Structure 1
């Protein structure tokens, strides 16, 4: 990711989003550099997942700017946005969102194939990532994996296109203690080992504290964790 050196992987400027009955958040500002991790906490319903959806371009904010790898995604056509998302963003969900009937290699390779990667390259890269992350590459279905192995498979899938920005929505929320810690170890090492930025949403304060920076979404504003004085 040498081209990302000195450039923000993610910039949110004055971001605001309203749902029919209330304002979720307003004037949200956040900047993540390559190699940096940030955790975001907040009460249920505060808008954390919606914030991620705005970053992904799946929810259109009412105001503000979302820049991914220097590009304003709000100015992109649907096709250009989809391509930019594939090229620059990796996403890890709480329950993995894997296809259980496919093997781990097939699940990971599929993300590469959808972005236009050659079949051989996609499968070779998928196997390499899974081996690196300690996931068995046997041909059995993903449904036979442990919870921790499924999340590691989800992380491998998020990494196959070498993203500038990695988003994680409660990635350890469904795991037991041992698997929670191992997946957290993996996620927070990625910014250093791969030069991406990580924005991780969590309800778990122990997980949140592992990030380089912590922010909290409360009363419609994003604050540095532990303060209510200035937005992040």
Structure 2
């Protein structure tokens, strides 16, 4: 059993960082929050229990209520930043015109240059900012980030981390970040450590 009585609650506006060594289950925790792994307990996002949903319903709920930022962005390099961000909205069934408008506004708000260059030609920091915009395009209740600064240099790491933890104050969502970087975790409202399957608040360590 990987987890032992994990209990974590996030409200809109909250940010929590989860730290732990490799193999402690941080990425599995993200998978549980996404509904990709079904734990013995209950995972609720936007007042709905993911474990009670059928696969198609869970996929639809995830696309509408959960945004994800991965370590390497997971963007399509041949598309422009605008196309990458808008694609997430279109796949969720949003109106095309409104989706492109929202995508453009998000990219502007997050400091991504407005151009038609393929995303693969952008700097690492610009790609991660684009990934954050993509994660926000469907106005999620929960934003998940799995080692979002792990592939960045020091300058971009700090800039992206500060932007990411500012998201819950600018958009109505909660933020859960898993990271091995103590400097990144320090920007969260709360930090917990995943140790032996349990989440331990930092102040009690």
- Give yes or no for the alignment of 1:73 onto 2:50: yes
Alignment match, 1:141:
118
Alignment match, 2:36:
58
Alignment match, 1:9:
none
TM-score (norm. length: structure 1): 0.86
Distance in 1, Cα, partners of 2:114 & 2:102: 12
- Residues 131-167 of structure 1: CA deviation (Å, up to 9, x unaligned): 1111122111001100000000000000000111000
Q: Aligned to 1:108, which of 85, 99, 122?
A: 85
1:195 positional shift: 2.2
Q: CA RMSD in A?
A: 1.0
Structure with more helix by fraction: 2
Structure 1 residues without counterparts, runs of 5 or longer: 1-22
TM-score (norm. length: structure 2): 0.97
Q: Aligned to 1:213, which of 178, 181, 190?
A: 190
**What SS class does the counterpart of residue 127 from structure 2 fall into?**
helix
Distance in 2, Cα, partners of 1:226 & 1:172: 24
Count of aligned residue pairs for this structure pair: 205
**What SS class does the counterpart of residue 64 from structure 1 fall into?**
coil
- Residues 165-199 of structure 1: CA deviation (Å, up to 9, x unaligned): 00000001111111111111111111111121000
- Residues 10-37 of structure 1: CA deviation (Å, up to 9, x unaligned): xxxxxxxxxxxxx221211000111010
Alignment match, 2:130:
153
1:119 positional shift: 1.4
Deviating 4+ runs (over 2 angstroms): none
1:59 positional shift: 1.3
Distance in 2, Cα, partners of 1:195 & 1:159: 10
Alignment match, 1:42:
20
- Residues 183-224 of structure 1: CA deviation (Å, up to 9, x unaligned): 111111111111210000000001111111110101111111
Alignment match, 2:149:
172
Structure 2 residues without counterparts, runs of 5 or longer: none
Distance in 1, Cα, partners of 2:20 & 2:204: 13
